[in-house]
Structure 1
Amino acid sequence: MLSGFSLANAQQTQNVILVTLDGVRWQEVFTGADSTLLFDPVYSPDTSAARKNFWASTQQQRRQLVFPFLWNTVSRQGQLYGNRLKNNRVNNSNPFWFSYPGYNEILSGYADDRIKSNDKIDNPNTTVLEFLHNQPDYKGRIAAFSSWDVIEAAVNEKKTGIYANSGNEPIPSPKTAADSLLNSMMSTIPPQVWDKTVRSDFLTYYMAKNYLLQNRPKVLFMQFDETDGLAHAGRYADDLRMVHAVDAFLADLWKTVQQIPQYAGKTTLIVTTDHGRGHTPKATWKGHGTKTPDSYQMWFAVIGPDTPPTGEQSGGPVLYQNQLAATVARLLGQDFKCEHPVGPPVLTVLKP
């Protein structure tokens, strides 16, 4: 096996941005809007506007309306995994199919049965962020921004010292006009009505972007949450609008990093989700978890200098959420090992 040193020299990726869209189904990613929800006034009160914004005659057109960045850029320059209609499957390996178990699995590469609630309990497992943070090249160069405040526990900010700005947390010791403006917006805009521990995703994005521009982290984790909250509230058209907005954040982020010498041509972006949702009957879209069949089904996308531009994947072995942590490390030329088992990296995201 190649050493970490030789792997790093063979690869161009020097930075990784990991992004999660909470509770976004593979069905919307690969087939676009679901007509049974989009045209039902219970889930989309303004059905004419919903049709205008998100409906087209083919799945390919519909998915592009919802996720233009994923389908105009990532599909042409990177890879997308999880279209079960093409027998390409990505699953949770944890048995719970909801948020904290999923985030632990993404970050630690390990499905831990001890993490079986969404309670804000510090993660007992070593994450790939901590593994990297403990190496001299990455010390102090890793950050996490999340709309949901439990993510700072999933990252275990207290133990690791990794900067995690989560929930309704302002920017500490603001130094610039942008810092002060974001803090003013944070104090003015109320948290989400369905969960007071969740802030607006646009605040999370612009706080993370502001941090990137000022501090140049080598690894940045971003978690968006409204995509799940709107689904639980049964607001399908609004949920698609939020997903579309996050896709626009990703497009802006990708454009931004290509204009910064540290990042341009040296950065890999990974986009994924913590769990799926129900699909049949249609009302089960509002939920997930073990009582909601198939909500273990997920997806991910990768774009970067070391990832072959093979687009939408078909066939192949079943992949698991626990493989993403080691994939992040491998993209950086590292072999993620720690006190618990770790899923193997997805080697197809790397050039042979």
Structure 2
Amino acid sequence: MKVLLRMFLVTLLFVTTQINAQEDKNPNVFLITLDGVRWQDVFTGMDTDLLNSEFTQNKDLLIQKFVGKSTEENREMVMPFFWNTIAKEGQLYGNRNKGSKVDLTNKMLFSYPGYNEILTGKADDVHIDSNDKNYNKNVTVLELANSQDEYKDKVAAFASWDVFPYIINDKRSGIPVNAGYMNAIGDLNEKEQFLNEIQEEAPVIWESVRLDVFTHHYAKEYVKKNHPKVVYISYGETDDFAHGGQFDFYMKSLHNTDALIADLWDYVQNDAFYKDNTYFIITTDHGRGNGVQEDSKWTSHGTDVKGAEHTWIAILGPKVNPVGEVGNGQLFANQIAPTLAKILSLKSDDKSMSAKPINLK
């Protein structure tokens, strides 16, 4: 009897999921950011200058894991999902060696201003000139989505950096934001309870940034339970390892984050609610220096660091023309929010997102 009841409940859940997936034809978007990841590491793979610098502790291990026989092989070894999936099924922008440029429009060139630009579609150097925990006066595209019937209470954000509740302004926007060392709350499943336990027991490397594996799995469990239509995930390890001068950990973290995104895409493509109706937009909040000299030091970014304004964008989704790596052209970070708004068909009288959406066709 118990077995029959269990089979009935499983069948009912499956049918309900299928019906809900068929009823809701509005597209879904996952906006994903990797903090402080340079375009060079995405498009050219292992940086041999940094490999042979003071920032690398275990050169042999990095060579074994990430150095092949060509630039193309190197970058694929570092980010296999980007180059085996996105490069074949989506679009990649920012390889400056091929004339493809993506730049910030804000002049601060560090995290809060960068995330504000990505999320709101405009730079705000007047009000946002630090990483302090001040509530953002600007309205993000996440908040815009949450204000409209099609996406009301179907927006969620997860971040490794604990400043994100302020960047997204969770109090005003009403968007649930799990960031920093926050635990999952509400009616928790077994895995969420376990994540809460081990997050409190795990060593704290940075006081304001948790390890990305927690951010990822908190997000994934929430997605599996609630099926939000707009999800923002911000991975943060890469920037903190770079600031610490740990090139080994930076490269391994970049490789791991690529795998986390691949895991999320695999789930999305095997879930009836998301399959064939979901976009991934992936980018970074700023670049960083390209060497060991003070004005271009790899560990740093900001107005006094050459190249910190250079970023990149990757896009994957059902109506994205699979052109792969794009050559000559200029994009800006402030085009990301308008692109997301166009995909979702959001309505707005606010002219802040006046930048042109990225052409996906």
Please classify the TM superposition score into its range, dividing by the shorter chain length: over 0.9
CA distance in 2, matches of 1:124, 1:108: 10
Q: Matches of 2:42 and 2:189 in 1, distance apart?
A: 37
CA RMSD of aligned residues (A): 1.3
Where in structure 2 are the equivalents of 1:65-144 lying within 5 Å?
A: 65-113=77-125, 114-144=127-157
The answer (yes or no) to whether the contact 2:26–2:150 under 8 Å persists in 1 is: no
* Residue in structure 1 matched with residue 303 of structure 2 by the alignment: 290
**Aligned counterpart for 1:266 among listed residues 266, 277, 280:** 277
Report how far residue 43 of structure 1 moved. Answer: 1.5
Q: Is the 8 A contact 2:155 2:228 kept in 1?
A: yes
5+ residue gaps, structure 2:
1-24
TM-score, normalising length: structure 1: 0.92
Paired position in structure 2 for 1:236: 247
CA deviation string 1:112-150 (max 9, x = no partner): 011010001111001100111000111110000000011
Deviations 1:151-173 (A, max 9, x none): 11111001111000010110113
* Structure 1, unpaired ranges of 5+: 1-11
Cα-to-partner distance string for 1:94-115 (whole Å, 9 max, x where unaligned): 0011000000000000100110
Q: CA deviation at 1:189?
A: 1.2
Instruction: Give the match for residue 45 of structure 1.
Output: 57
Amino acid at match of 1:240: M
- Distance in 2 (CA, whole Å) between partners of 1:173 and 1:197 is 23
Shift of the alpha carbon at 1:13?
6.5
Partner of 1:8: none
Answering whether residue 356 of structure 2 is matched by residue 344 of structure 1, we say: yes
Distance in 1 of aligned mates of 2:225 and 2:85 = 26
Identity of aligned residues (%): 41
- Are 1:108 and 1:342, in contact at CA under 8 Å, matched by a contact in 2? no
Which position in structure 2 is the counterpart of 1:3? none
Counterpart in 1 of 2:163? 150
**Which has the higher Rg, Structure 1 or Structure 2?**
2
* Deviations, residues 82-102 of structure 1 (Å, cap 9, x unaligned): 000011100000001100000
User: Is 1:197 the equivalent of 2:201?
Assistant: no
Work out the CA distance in 2 between the residues paired with 1:68 and 1:90.
Answer: 22
Partner of 1:176: 189
Tell me: CA distance 1:184–1:83, structure 2 relative to 1, closer, same or farther (3 Å).
same
Counterpart residue type for residue 47 of structure 1: K
1:257 pairs, out of 265, 268, 271, with 268
C-alpha contact (below 8 Å) 2:161/2:209 kept by paired residues: yes
